[in-house]
Copies of this chain bind each other. A is one copy, B any other.
Amino acid sequence: MLRWTLLDLRDRAELRDRFVPYAIQRLPAAEFVYRQLRQRIASLELEPGTPAGEQTLAEQFGVSRTPVREACARLAREGLVDIYARRGVIVAPLRERAVSNARFVREALELAIVRGAAERADESGLFALDQIIDEQRWSLKRNDPERFFEADEKMHRHLCILAGREEVWFVIVDAKVHMDRARRLSLREQGIKKLLADHEAIVDAIKSRDADRAVDAMRQHLLDIDLQMDQIKARYPAYFEAGFAVSRKAG
C-alpha cells in the first residue's frame, strides 16, 4: 500500500497550538508569522497605522524575508494590512465598509448554520455547547475578555460542526476578522454581559429545536455590531480610515 504525506498547510497548522516556537513543532515559518500577525491585528495589539516593513518583521521573528513576505501578502489580500510603495506594510485602519461586508457575510452564513444546528445537532454536541457557555459565564465572572473571545470563537465554530458544515467555519473566520476589531472597541464600552445573553438565547433556541427562534437570536446577535458602529466610530476616530495622521518627518 502506497501512501504519501499530504502537506496541506491549513489542516496541518490547525492541529497545532499557537504561541509555540515553530522550530519545535515544525510549524512552517510563513504560517507562524501569518498567525501571529493576524492575531495581533485582530486583537488590536497592533493598532491601525502601525508601520512594519518586511525586513523589520523578519528580524523581529528571527526568520528571513521570504516567509514574512508570504504572510504579508495574505494579510494584504484579506485587507488587514495595506502595502504602500516605499512605506512598507502598515496595519490597515478599520473600514466601516469592510465591517459592514463582514457582517453581511457572517449573517448569511451563520443564519444558515444555526438553522442547520438546530435541526441536526445530536445530544453530545448539545452537551459540548453547554460546556462552552459555562466557560463564557466563568469568563464573565472573572472579567477575562480574552478568554471570553476564545470561548466565543469556540462556540461559533462548534455551531458549524453541529450543522455538519465544519469547513464553513474557515470562511466565517476570514470574514470575521474585520468585525473582531470593531468588537474589541465595542467591548470597552458595553462589556460582555450583552454578548453572553445573546449566546444563551441562541443556545436555548437550538436546544429547544426551534430553528426559527435560533435564527432570530443569531440575527439579533450579529446586528448588534452594526448598531454600535456609530458610537465606536465617534469614540475612536483614530482607528478608522483616514483618521490617523500619516507620520512624516517635520520639515
Q: Is the CB of B85 within 8 A of A4?
A: yes
Interchain CB contact (< 8 A) of A7 among B83, B97, B171, B246: B83
CA distance A70 to B69 in the complex (A): 10
Instruction: List chain B residues, Cβ under 8 A from A5.
Output: 84-85
Q: Is the CB of B165 within 8 A of A104?
A: yes
CA distance A82 to B111 in the complex (A): 31
Interface SS majority for chain A: helix
Nearest B residue (CB) for A100: B165
Say yes or no: A104-B10 contact (C-beta < 8 A), given A84-B4, A87-B4: no
Extra A-B contacts (16), CB below 8 Å, given A7-B76, A171-B171: A4-B86, A5-B84, A6-B83, A6-B84, A7-B84, A7-B85, A8-B76, A8-B83, A9-B73, A70-B70, A101-B168, A104-B165, A105-B109, A105-B168, A108-B109, A109-B109
Per-position contact with B for A77-105: 1 when CB-CB < 8 Å, else 0? 10000111111000000000110010011
Q: Which of A1-48 contact B (CB under 8 A)?
A: 2, 4-10, 30
Shortest Cβ distance from residue A126 to the other chain B in the assembled complex, whole angstroms: 22
Chain A, interface size category, equals 35 or more
Asked if A206 is at the interface of the complex by the 8 Å CB criterion, the answer is no
Q: Is the CB of A101 within 8 A of B70?
A: no
Per-position contact with B for A148-176: 1 when CB-CB < 8 Å, else 0? 00000000000000000101100100110
Instruction: List chain B residues, Cβ under 8 A from A9.
Output: 73, 76-77
Which 9 residue pairs of A and B lie closest in terms of their CB atoms, listed nearest first?
A: A108-B112, A4-B84, A108-B108, A7-B83, A5-B85, A101-B167, A108-B109, A105-B171, A10-B77
Asked if A107 is at the interface of the complex by the 8 Å CB criterion, the answer is yes
CA distance A108 to B248 in the complex (A): 45
Instruction: List chain B residues, Cβ under 8 A from A165.
Output: 101, 104
CA distance A2 to B247 in the complex (A): 11
